[in-house]
Chains A and B, each alone.
Chain A
Amino acid sequence: MVYGVLRMINFANSEIFMVGAFATMITSKYVFDFSTEMIPPSNAKLLLVVLSCLVASMLASALLAFLVELVAYRHLRNRTSNRIAPLISAIGIGIVISEIVRILTRARTQFSPNIIPKKALFTFHGAEIRLDNTITILAGLTLFIILERFIKLSRLGKGIRAVSMDEDSAKLMGVNLNRVISLTFILGGLMTGAAGFFYVNVYENVKYNMGFSLGLAAFTAAVIGGIGNIRGAFFGGISLGLVEIYASAIVGTQWKPVTVFLILILILLFKPNGLFGEAIQKTRV
C-alpha cells in the first residue's frame, strides 16, 4: 500500500512490526500482569486483555510508522534527482530503531505470556486445528476486509487510491498529499501492528531482530500479489506461507530465508507485475 502511494518501499516496516509485537508483550506482561504460568482467566477478562493488546500493538506501530514517514521519507520525497536517498534514510531509521531496542533489551529474547489459549479445537486429517491459529486466520481475514472496504469507500481511502494512480492530478483535485501519505503509513502501521500482536500470540517471544525475516517475507508476499494491490497481497501472503512450509519440509528449515529470497528473485524476473498488479518499472518520457 505504501508502495502504491509512494512508489517506494517502506524499509523500516520490519522494525514497525517488531515494535508492535513488543507492545503486545509489554501490555500483557506489565499492564495486565500476565505471566507464563498462570491459570487462564475468565472469558470476559480474556477478551479485554486480547483487545487491549491488539489495540496497543496497532497504535504503537501506527505511531511509529507515522514518525518514520515524517523523519525518513517526507524530507527526501521530492528530490527526484536522487532516487535512492529516501531508501537509505529509511534503512537507517530501521537500524536505529532495532539497535535501540537491542541495547535496551540487551539482545535477549523476551518471553511473552500466553494470551489466547492454545486449545485444540478438533483434528482434521491428522492435523490439529488450534484455537489461537484459527483466531489469527479469522482476524487476519477480518482486518483485510475492513481495510479493503475502507480504501474503496471512505473519502480518505479514495484519496489514497487517487494518489497512487496519479499524484499530480490528485494534488490538483485538492487532495492533501502530505495527509494522504501520512495516513497511508498509519494504516500500514495499524496492519503491521496487528500482525505483531498475532505473532506474539502464537510464538510467545519477542526479540529485537524478529522483524527481519518476516519483513522480507512480507515484501515477497506483496510482490507476488502485485505491489500496490491489497487483494494481491492477501493472496501472496497465503501462497508464500504455503510454499515456505512445503519447502522447509523438503530441504530443511535452515534454508528458509534462501527459499524466500529465491522466490522473490524469480517472481521479480519473470512476473514483475506479480500476479495481479501493475508493472514495477515504468519508463517515463
Chain B
Amino acid sequence: MINLRDKGAEFWERSNRPVRVLTVFATLFVIACLPYAGNTFLQTPIAAFDAVLVYPMGIFILMALGLNVVVGKSGLLDLGYVAFFAVGAYTMALLSTHTHMNTWEIMPFGIAAAMIAGLLLAIPTLRLRGDYLAIVTLGFGEIVRVSALNTEAIGGALGIAGIPFPPGLGFEYQLLDQKAFYWTIIVMILIVIWIVRRLSVRRPGRAWESIRQDEDAAELMGVSTYKYKIWAFVFGAAIGGGAGVFYASRSMVIAPDNFTLNTSILILACVVFGGMGNIWGVIVGAAILGYLPDRFRFLSDARLLLFGLVLVIFMNLRPEGILPRKKREKAIVKKGSDA
C-alpha cells in the first residue's frame, strides 16, 4: 500500500529550497483555482460547487484544525466543540446587528468570546479524565445550544437574521458567486496552519504530545499539564470562534439549530478520518468528508450515518487515519534545529 504521507515527506526533504517554494506556489495556485472547476465531474448537484467549497469544506477544515489540537494532539476528547463555533457566530450576529462594526472588526471579539468560553469550560473540567471529560464537554455544547434556544433576547429558536457580509476590499462578497468567501477562508486556513505548525515543533507541541501519550509521566518530567491542557482548549476554541464569525457573516441568518451535537461529531469524524494529530491528514479528511455528502445525493441524508461509520471503522481498523504519521519526527527535528 502506497504511503502517501511518507512519499510526500520524502519528496519534501530531498528537494532544495527553490523546488520547495515552487511546489508550495503550485499547490496554492491549484487550490485557488478550484472554484473554477465547478463544471467538471466535481460538480455538486444540490448546492453550487463554489459554495460547497466554502461550507462545508472550508469551514470543516478550519474547525477540524482547531479540534485536532485538542483531540488529536493533546488527546482530550472534546464532544462539545460546536459550542465555540456557536459563540463566535452569535457574537458576530449580535454585534453586527446592534453596532456598526463589520466582520473584520468583530472577528477579534468573536475569537476572544470563544476563548473565554474555552477557559470557562476548561478550568473546572480539565482535572477529569477521558470519558468524563467527553461527557462534560458534550454537556457544555448542549448547554450552549439550549441556552440560545431558550433565550428570547438573542433570538430564541428563530435565531438572528440580517447579518451582513464582510466588507469587500476592492472586490465584493456575493451570495451567488462565492469565490471571495472561498479565497478568504483559504487565507484563514493558511494562517491557522502556519500557527499550528509553529506550535507543534516547539514547546507547546511537545507538551501536548506528551500529555496525550502519558500525562502522569509528562507531569513528572516537569510538563505543566494543567496549563497546557487549558491552552489546548483555549486555542482550539479560538479557531472555532473565528470559524463561527466567518460562518455567520456568510450565512446571513443563524439559529440554534445550526449548532447541534451532530456538528461536533462531524468535526470529530474529520479528525479521526484524517489522522489524529496530523495537520495534513486532517485537512484532507475534512475536505473529503465535507465534500462527499454534497456530491453524492444518497449520502446526503445518511451523512450522520456515514460519519458514525467512519468513527467506528477507522478507530478499529486504521486509527492513524488516512495519512499516518510515520515519518513525522524527521521533519520536526530538522525544523527544530534551524527554526
Contact = CB atoms under 8 A, between A and B. Distances in A.
B71 interface: yes
B136 interface: yes
B129 A280 contact: yes
> Which of A71, A219, A261 has the most B CB atoms < 10 Å from its CB?
A261
Given A87-B77, A88-B268, A285 B216 contact: yes
A92 B312 contact: yes
A258 B146 contact: yes
B150 interface: yes
Contact of B315 (A9, A89, A272, A281): A89
Given A91-B265, A265-B125, A281-B128, A96 B146 contact: no
B312 to A, nearest CB: 4
A216 interface: yes
A48 interface: no
A264 B137 CA distance: 11
Interface stretch (B45-53, B96-104, B177-185, B298-306): B298-306
Contacts, number: 124
Interface stretch (A54-62, A74-82, A182-190): A74-82
Task: Tell me the dominant secondary structure on chain B's binding face.
Answer: helix
Nearest to A91: B311
B227 interface: no
A53 interface: no
Interface string B133-165: 011100110110011011000000000000000
Contacts of A83: 75, 129-130
A268 interface: yes
Interface string A259-285: 001101100110010000000110111
Given A92-B310, A100-B305, A268 B315 contact: no
Given A9-B135, A254-B150, A284-B216, A88 B311 contact: yes
A8 B131 contact: yes
Contact of B312 (A96, A268, A284): A96
A269 B124 CA distance: 7
A103 interface: yes
Nearest to A71: B312
Contacts of A76: 315-316
Contacts of B79: 91
B108 interface: no
Given A72-B312, A280-B132, A258 B77 contact: no
Contacts of B293: none
Contact of A281 (B129, B134, B147): B129
B149 A265 contact: no
Interface string A90-130: 01111110011001000000000000000000000000000
Nearest to A252: B150
A71 B43 CA distance: 36
A95 B304 contact: yes
Nearest to B142: A257
Contacts of B130: 8, 83-84, 87
Contacts of B216: 283-285
Contacts of B147: 258
A96 B269 CA distance: 13
Interface in B66-81: 71, 75, 77, 79
A94 B134 contact: no
Classify chain B's interface size.
35 or more
A191 B272 CA distance: 32
Given A89-B311, A95-B305, A82 B319 contact: yes
Contacts of B313: 92
Given A72-B312, A92-B311, A281-B128, A103 B302 contact: yes
B59 to A, nearest CB: 21
A279 B307 CA distance: 34
Contacts of A210: none
B42 interface: no
A85 interface: yes
B328 interface: no
A32 interface: no
A150 interface: no
Contacts of B139: 216, 261, 264-265
Contacts of B174: none
Contacts of A284: 216
A8 B312 CA distance: 16
Given A94-B308, A96-B309, A261 B265 contact: no
B127 interface: yes
Contacts of B304: 95, 99
Contacts of B134: 9, 11, 84, 87
B311 to A, nearest CB: 3
Given A83-B75, A261-B139, A95 B149 contact: no
Contacts of A84: 71, 75, 77, 130, 134
Given A84-B71, A255-B146, A93 B305 contact: no
21 contacts: A9-B134, A71-B316, A75-B316, A82-B319, A83-B129, A91-B79, A91-B265, A92-B315, A95-B304, A95-B308, A96-B309, A103-B305, A216-B139, A257-B142, A258-B146, A258-B147, A265-B124, A268-B132, A268-B136, A269-B125, A285-B216
Given A84-B130, A86-B315, 9 more contacts: A87-B77, A87-B130, A91-B308, A92-B308, A95-B307, A103-B301, A219-B135, A268-B125, A269-B124
The 4 A-B pairs at the shortest CB distance, nearest first, are namely A92-B311, A95-B308, A261-B139, A92-B312
